[in-house]
Amino acid sequence: MSEGLHGGELEWVVAKRHRVSVDRLTSFANTVSPIIPRSVYDLREQFRRLYLYAPRDAVDVRASIASYYGVHANDVLLGAGSTELIHLFFQAIAPAHVVIPVPTYSEYASAAQRWGCRTTLVPMTSDFQLDLPAIRRAVTPRTRAIILCNPNNPTGRFYRRNTMDALVRLADRSGATLLVDEAYLCFVNARHAFSMSRSATRHNVVVVDSLSKLSGAPSLRLGWMVARPTLLRRLGKLKVPGTIGNLALWMTPGLLRDRGHQRHVRSLIARERAYLERQLQRIPGLTVFPSDCNFILLRLQRPGIDADRLFERMAERRLVIRAAGNIPGLDRHFFRVTVRTHPDNVKLVTALRALLP
Work out whether 81 is an interface residue with ligand PLP (CB under 6 A).
yes
Cross-sheet strand order for the sheet of 322-323 = 286-288, 295-300, 334-338, 322-323
**Interface with ligand PLP by CB under 6 A: which range of 21-29, 76-84, 193-201, 261-269?**
76-84
Work out whether 75 is an interface residue with ligand PLP (CB under 6 A).
no
Work out whether 27 is an interface residue with ligand PLP (CB under 6 A).
no
To ligand PLP, the closest distance from the beta carbon of 356 in angstroms equals 26
Nearer to ligand PLP by C-beta: 29 or 66? Answer: 29
Work out whether 294 is an interface residue with ligand PLP (CB under 6 A).
no
**Interface with ligand PLP by CB under 6 A: which range of 80-88, 92-100, 246-254, 280-288?**
80-88
Length of the chain: 357
Work out whether 262 is an interface residue with ligand PLP (CB under 6 A).
no
To ligand PLP, the closest distance from the beta carbon of 215 in angstroms equals 10
Nearer to ligand PLP by C-beta: 183 or 319? Answer: 183
- Residue with CB nearest ligand PLP? 81
Nearest CA to 222 out of 210, 232, 214 is that of 210
Taking CB under 6 A as the criterion, which residues in 184-203 touch ligand PLP? none
Residues that contact ligand PLP, how many (by CB under 6 A) = 15
To ligand PLP, the closest distance from the beta carbon of 107 in angstroms equals 6
Nearest CA to 149 out of 133, 130, 162 is that of 130
302 Cβ contact list (under 8 Å, min separation 6): 284, 285, 356
Residue 27, beta-bridge partner list: 320
Nearer to ligand PLP by C-beta: 79 or 349? Answer: 79
To ligand PLP, the closest distance from the beta carbon of 254 in angstroms equals 18
Work out whether 212 is an interface residue with ligand PLP (CB under 6 A).
yes
Nearest CA to 28 out of 286, 287, 318 is that of 318
CA atoms within 13 A on the CB side of 192: 11
Taking CB under 6 A as the criterion, which residues in 7-26 touch ligand PLP? 7-8
C-alpha dihedral, 153 to 158 to 272 to 338, nearest 10°: 0
**Interface with ligand PLP by CB under 6 A: which range of 77-85, 229-237, 312-320, 342-350?**
77-85
Taking CB under 6 A as the criterion, which residues in 127-186 touch ligand PLP? 149, 153, 181, 183
Nearer to ligand PLP by C-beta: 223 or 329? Answer: 223
Work out whether 105 is an interface residue with ligand PLP (CB under 6 A).
yes
For residues 156 and 292, the answer to whether their CB atoms sit within 8 Å is yes
Contacting ligand PLP (CB under 6 A), which of 26, 31, 252, 291?
A: 31
To ligand PLP, the closest distance from the beta carbon of 265 in angstroms equals 16
Between the alpha carbon of residue 103 and those of residues 157, 207, 242, the distances in Å are 11, 19, 33
Work out whether 83 is an interface residue with ligand PLP (CB under 6 A).
yes
Binding site for ligand PLP (CB under 6 A): 7-8, 31, 81-83, 105, 149, 153, 181, 183, 210, 212, 218, 223
